[in-house]
Structure formats: structure tokens, C-alpha cells
Amino acid sequence: MNLLELKPITTQMLKAVVELDQLCFGGLWTMAGYEREIDSPNADLLGLSLRGYPVLIGMGCLWAIVDEAHITILAIHPRYQSQGFGQFILLAMLRLAQKRGLERASLEVRTSNKGAIALYQKFGFKTAGIRKRYYSDTGEDALILWKGGLQEVEFVQNVTTWQQELRSRIVKDTGYQLRVH
């Protein structure tokens, strides 16, 4: 059985984390930056990998700031994009935010990243503003996206339903079983 595991990233996984960061973002964060995330009580850093293999398929990070989950990273290896894994990690991060008692989520995304924008909008994120020339590598603007109501009963139930439906779809489409630690 092919088993994908979503679990907190540890220091033993840092080499794979930095490799995925380099592949997806061109080296957005350093190893020391990821070490700080692992050590921070206000951060959740998750990695998705095939059991028994050192390569990360995807990762996500959120910061708990007062009553907000600020999603700082959502990355999927290019070979595994458009298969539901980004949705799976995003929903897991929203579930962690709910467990932390956070009320809303925010993030920045490149204005050119239409696939990511569509993903976030699918789960209720709305445009709250634009950060001009936010990305130093290209000078590209970032959309600021927000999602409120994380603790509302309907949204909590929706996240559970979406996770179940997504698990079924991923198993059917890819053959991978999913486990969250």
C-alpha cells in the first residue's frame, strides 16, 4: 500500500524541506528559518511524504498570531501538483487553526498564481487587499487573502466533510492512502 503521511516536520526532515523550498520558491527560507519554525510554539510546520522515502511531496506552515492563523507556506512538489495534495495540507492547517481556537486565516499569494488563488477561494478566502511589489525577486504584487469564521459550526463541519471527500478522491485518483499524525 502506498501511504502518504502528513506530520509535523522535524529537524531530521530539514534537508528535504529546504530542497522543496528551493524547487517551489527558489530558496524563500533558509534551513535556519525552518529550524525556528520547528522550535516556535506559535508555528505549525507540516510535511507530506510517502512513507519510507525522504522526499517531501508538500509542506505547509502557519503562524498563530493572537486569534489569526497566518499561512506562510503552502508548497507542493511540481510532480504532485493538481492531485489534491495542496487542498489536503490546507485543510489540515485550517483544522489545526480551529484546534488552536483561532478565528480567521490570512495569507499572501502572487497575483500570477491563479491555481493557488482558485484553491484558496474554493475554501472561502476573499481578497482583502494588495501588497505592491511584495515579492523581491520579481517585484510582483501579492494578494492578501482572508477567511473569517474558522470557529463557526458550519465551517468546522465543512472542513470535516471536505477532508473526507478529498481523501476518497485522492485514493480513487492516485491510489495513495492518507494518514495525518
Q: Please, what's the largest Cα pairwise distance for the chain?
A: 47
What pLDDT was estimated at residue 164?
Answer: 95
pLDDT at 53: 83
* CATH value of 3-106+153-180 in 3.40.630.30, 3.40.640.10, 3.40.50.300, 1.10.3720.10: 3.40.630.30
Q: Where are the domains of the chain?
A: 3-106+153-180
Q: Reply yes or no on whether 176 is catalytic.
A: no
Q: What is the mean pLDDT of each run of 10 residues along the chain (181 residues)?
A: 91 95 91 96 96 90 98 96 95 97 97 94 96 90 97 96 95 91 86
- Residue 134 appears among annotated catalytic residues: no
| Residue 1 confidence (pLDDT) | 62
Inter-helix orientation angle 14-25/31-39, to 10°: 120
Task: Choose, from 34, 37, 68, 120, the residue flagged as catalytic.
Answer: 120
Check: CB of residue 93 under 8 Å from CB of residue 69: yes
Q: How confident is the model at residue 157, as a pLDDT?
A: 96
Catalytic residue among 19, 108, 135, 140: 108
* pLDDT one-digit tens code per residue, 143-169: 999 999 999 999 999 999 999 999 999
Residue-wise burial string across 42-67, b where 16 or more C-beta atoms lie within 10 A, e elsewhere: ebbbbbbbeeeeeebbbbbbbbbeee
